[in-house]
Amino acid sequence: MKLNRPTLKIVIAVVVMLAALYWAFDSTRIRSYAGTNVTFVVGHGPVTVKNSSDQPIDVQLTSTGSRTFNVTSAVEGVAATSTKLGTGSSTTQLVEFALPPGGSEFTVVRAGSSSSDVSFAANPATRFEVTAQPLTQSETQTTVIATVVVILGALFFISRTTGHRWMSALPGRKPAVPVLVPAPEAVGDRGSALKSYGDNRTGSQ
């Protein structure tokens, strides 16, 4: 099937819209983890841990490199700054704390911005549930706004490509009626209408 140029433009615009929607969904959806020996990379948003046991959960947050990160939380004993371990290429950052039974929440921030490479690990013998938001609230709003702008731009592009035909279907808008122009009268070689003349010759005597 061969696509003409306008149809190809519309297909590309639709693909852009679908890609923007998928990107927004994947960037903002909440990650969920459950079971024992849970490990994952902490996102930019808050992490909520539900400890169903009656014992605290020992948690380790680690990252590679010399850049420190901070853990903020309303839970006592959780807020902390990472400690540097090792030297050179083997340098790591570590924070250790215990989360009490019930629900606890914390956020990881690195160097004035949200962290994106801090790994979460907990006591493998303890079963618990975790929900982690990949983005902060402001980042989520920015992502949604950017997605809406892309979709509106693609819709306008499609509308312009189709000559804004959808506008004729709006209430109160009448479809355009073609104006019939009467055909011009037949004219002579010099632009004047042909006239009929009688025989002006006089009869011979």
Tens of pLDDT along the chain (205 residues) come to 466 788 888 899 999 999 999 999 999 999 999 888 888 999 889 999 998 888 888 999 999 888 889 999 999 889 999 999 888 778 899 999 999 999 999 999 875 444 458 999 987 778 889 999 999 899 999 999 999 999 999 999 988 887 767 666 566 655 555 556 566 665 555 555 555 555 555 554 4
Question: In terms of C-beta density within 10 A (0-12 exposed, 13-18 middle, 19 or more buried), how is residue 154 classed?
Answer: buried
> How would you class 104 by CB atoms within 10 Å of its CB: exposed for 0-12, middle for 13-18, buried for 19 or more?
buried
Helix then strand count (H, E) for the chain reads 2, 12
Give the per-residue pLDDT at 73.
93
Which pLDDT score, from 0 to 100, does residue 191 have?
Answer: 52
Cα gap 121→98, rounded to integer Å? 12
What predicted TM-score, i.e. pTM, was given to this entire model?
0.69
Among candidates 66, 52, 47, 65, which has minimal Cα distance to 121?
A: 47
Q: Does 2.60.120 match the CATH number of domain 37-133?
A: yes
Going from N- to C-terminal start, the domains of the chain cover 1-29+134-165, 37-133
